[in-house]
Structure 1
Amino acid sequence: MKTPRIGAALRRRAAPVPEHTDGRDHAVLRRAAGLCLDYPDRTVLDRLPLVRAALDATAPSDAATDVRTFVAQLADQDPLRAGEHYVAVFDTRNRRSLHLTWWSDGDTRRRGHSLAALKARYRAHGLNPGEAELPDHLPVVLEYAAHEPADGTALLQEHRTGLELLRRALTKAGTPYALLLRAVCATLPGPSPRTEQEARALSARSPADRVPADLAGPELVGLQPYDSPGGNRWPL
């Protein structure tokens, strides 16, 4: 899933989305990136024209350019190869995990508590939990952030370290999916860190802030991509 353009695109240093950007533009960028971070099945591929049209209606920004570049490449890719690339990038190495609590809690019992809290957070905003996907799966989190921009931004900020480490890992791997993580990070306050050490320092928590492992239950709760209370899954 590489073209001659991708190397230059990844080398360009993206600027944060300007603060005066309409909140709707942030929602479009996050929702578009989230959809593109799902496995590229026929549903995702069929929605790419809608994604492109939504991006074209946003204000010009490096983030929109990044997502638009990814969409164009995915649309040109053979579906079978696109699926193989996705699996190779995300399904074989935890260090490129799309599950945000893996970055913060690892494979510990504490992660079960974090997942349960996240599921309750969605429910508090009237969103419908399911069992198809874990609630920390980045496409799900980004859909939530598009529906609930204030709390969604806060949630992404809470997991900023994981997002930035994932962005760096994808960039190092040379995959176009790095463009999507860079676009997501650009919608958050402040510039992206330049080093791994800076990334880890963004949301470092003291031991007193962490949930004791013995308080975390074993349940792994899920949230499937949901319909909004109004029934519109793509609020553009």
Structure 2
Amino acid sequence: MEIIKVISLLLDYPERQLMDARVELDDAIGQCLFISPQQRQALRDLLQHIAGQELLDAQSLYLSLFNRGRHLSLLMFEHVHGESRDRGQAMVDLLAEYEQAGFAIAAKELPDYIPLYLEYLASRDQLTARTGLADIQHLLALLGARLEESESPYAACFHALLQLAGVDPAEQIGQAREKVAEDPVDDSLEALDAEWEEEAVTFMQGDGQASCGLSSPAGNFRAREEVAVPVHWVDFTDASNAAGKF
């Protein structure tokens, strides 16, 4: 699904390629009928927000949002497994899923980096992509709620992804707000230093073993070159079906 690829680009660390492809990305968002008009407009507004700045300013703002601790980390398993041993195995399992599908990633990439996971889903058929999003809908809602709390336009990505997963974004994010209200957030420099001082993650080392330490999301920002079925799916290609939903 092309729209998932577009959202992957929007959520990734801003690079010149994104700025240069601004018109094409705007057109792709506008032509997507799998999300509501409101969601399309919110994504276009985010694109304008990113591409309307100087590149260094966009990168600095991105880092200040997503690279200040684990609160808004774009590494999925940090939210799911934290520092437990289960995180290392989850990484290995996800890598195996990528390899089985013929989806190659660079050795430096962490497989649970959300823009990378979205790029993988964008390469799959529609049902697999939607199911993959539904599998992480609670995480998408949590991040969406935290971004809404920060009044960040990046929340649009998570609204759209939840809609593509076949669930009601407002309902899911509304439920997540209860957890967000209880979040202890310490983004002082001392807390950040302590949070990221662990050894970086390395997977599939020379001895074939996986290490399950933690790594800062900053190591995963990169330029792009290029199972139940959800029951609330709305296909906006059907105008009569879409009417009244939004």
**TM-score of the two chains, using structure 1 as the length reference:** 0.70
Task: Kindly provide the amino acid, as one letter, of the partner of residue 105 in structure 1.
Answer: H
Structure-2 residue corresponding to 1:19? none
Are residues 1:141 and 2:134 paired?
no
What is residue 70 of structure 1 aligned with on the other side?
A: 46
Q: Which residue of 1 aligns with 2:159?
A: 182
Change (3 A) 1:112 1:224: farther
The reply on whether 1:130 has 2:106 as its aligned counterpart is yes
Q: Contact conserved, 1:105 with 1:111, CA < 8 A, in 2?
A: yes
- Measure, in 1, the Cα distance between the counterparts of 2:156 and 2:117: 18
Supply the distance in 1 between the matched residues of 2:32 and 2:166 (Cα, whole angstroms).
19
Q: One-letter code of the match for 1:64? A: R
Contact 1:161 1:199 in 2 (8 A): no
Question: Which of 110, 119, 136 is matched with 2:86 structurally?
Answer: 110
Q: How many residues align?
A: 188
> Secondary structure at 1:182's aligned position in 2?
helix
Identity of aligned residues (%): 24
Counterpart check, 1:58 vs 2:32: yes
The reply on whether 1:28 has 2:2 as its aligned counterpart is: yes
In the aligned structure 1, how far is the partner of 2:14 from the partner of 2:160?
19
Asked whether the equivalents of residues 34 and 143 of structure 1 are also in contact (C-alpha less than 8 Å), the reply is yes
CA RMSD of aligned residues (A): 2.9
TM-score of the pair, normalised by structure 2:
0.68
1:52 CA drift (Å):
1.0
> How far does the alpha carbon of each residue in 1:191-229 deviate from its partner, in whole angstroms, 9 at most, with x for none?
1322227889xxxxxxxxxxxxxxx942579999899xx
Q: What is the CA-CA distance between 1:62 and the residue it aligns to?
A: 2.4
Is the alpha carbon distance of 1:63 and 1:197 closer, same or farther for their aligned partners in structure 2, counting shifts above 3 Å?
Answer: closer
CA distance in structure 2 between the partners assigned to 1:153 and 1:93 by the alignment? 29
For the pair 1:155 / 2:164, whether they are aligned, the reply is no
Larger relative contact order, structure 1 or 2 (CA cutoff 8 Å, min sep 6): 1
Where does structure 2 lack aligned partners over 5 or more consecutive residues? 181-208, 227-246
* Distance in 1 of aligned mates of 2:223 and 2:20: 18
3-state secondary structure, aligned to 2:59: helix
Structure-1 separation of matches of 2:54 and 2:16: 12
